Amino acid sequence: SNAIDLKQAAAARAAELVEDGMNVGLGSGSTAYKFVSLLAERVRNGLKIVGVPTSEITRQLAIKEGITVSTLDETPSLDMTVDGADEMTRSLHLIKGGGGCLLWEKIVAVASSRNVVIADGSKLVETLGRFPLPIEVNKFGLEATRRAIINTFTKCGLNGEITVRQTEDGQVFVTDGGHLILDAALNSIPDPEKLSVQLNLVPGVVENGLFVGISTDAIIATETGLVEWSR
């Protein structure tokens, strides 16, 4: 379908940006997987890189495709990370976590000199929040954490239904890091920076899906072609 072609186009452009000798953060989600596969093609043609994955799924894919993978402990500073987004604004503020990988994605992203977002045009919004905000929480004291998060929303002038993410077969979803994901249907988040800071003050919150001041570049595939921004 067209959406897949657009993701492919954005992924292909990002794969071209990778240079010999780079340490590359490998994102998660369907668009990032296309990037990993296209990057692997260049590796098979002689490109020398080390990949640090942002999820177990990405690690398995990278290994299968022949990319040399490493860990952030072995490779602490990355030249570039390429990853997708669930929503993004023109100022490169993102909501991520639709795939449940936001914690490792954010840890890898902040260890990277450049963070390139690859997405089809449907991800572009004026204001974040229509996509439910994923919040990674410790499973201990879940209800207390949920109440504290609702208080934080109220303090920030927001409100929204919070649900515990489940797998397709109705089990509670558990992240690679062993935590749960709460999805908050806030509808609109006028001040993502403030909300991100406030949420991470709540004991029990591990991380949230607001990426503010992290992304440096964006490659957006639209019907009329690729649009590229740099911050």
Shortest Cβ distance from residue 101 to ligand DER (Å)?
A: 5
Residue type, 18: V
Q: Is 96 in the site for ligand DER (CB under 6 A)?
A: yes
Q: What is the Cα–Cα distance from 30 to 4, expressed in whole angstroms? A: 9
Q: Which residue is nearest to ligand DER (CB)?
A: 29
22 Cβ contact partners less than 8 Å away, ≥ 6 residues apart: 49, 50, 79, 80
Nearest distance, CB of residue 137 and ligand DER, angstroms: 16
Instruction: Examine residue 217 and tell whether it contacts ligand DER (CB under 6 A).
Output: no
Binding segment (CB under 6 A) for ligand DER, from list 70-78, 83-91, 160-168, 193-201: 83-91
Among 59, 83, 179, 207, the residue binding ligand DER under the rule CB under 6 A is 83
Question: Does residue 99 touch ligand DER according to CB under 6 A?
Answer: yes
CB of 190 to ligand DER, least distance (A): 21
Selecting among 105, 136, 193, 207, the annotated active-site residue is 105
170 is in an annotated binding site: no
Of 12-20, 29-37, 43-51, 174-182: span binding ligand DER (CB under 6 A): 29-37
| Angle formed at CA 83 by CA 204 and CA 30, multiple of 5 degrees | 100
126 classed as catalytic: no
Contacts by residues 174-178 (CB-CB < 8 Å, ≥ 24 positions apart):
174/139, 175/100, 175/101, 175/103, 175/136, 176/55, 176/56, 176/100, 176/101, 176/103, 176/104, 177/103, 177/104, 177/136, 177/206, 178/139
Q: Partners of 95 in the beta sheet?
A: 87, 210
Q: Which is nearer to ligand DER, 101 or 186 (CB)?
A: 101
Question: Is there binding between residue 25 and ligand DER (CB under 6 A)?
Answer: no
Q: Which lies closer to ligand DER via its Cβ, residue 30 or residue 71?
A: 30
Number of chain positions touching ligand DER (CB under 6 A): 17
Is 97 part of any known ligand binding site?
Answer: yes
Rounded-to-integer distance, Cα 100 and Cα 177, Å: 10
The CA distance from 166 to 169, in Å, is 8
State which of residues 86, 136, 183, 217 lies at the interface with ligand DER (CB under 6 A): 86
Strands 23-26 and 50-53: parallel
Q: Binding site membership for substrate: which residues? A: 28-31, 83-86, 96-99, 123
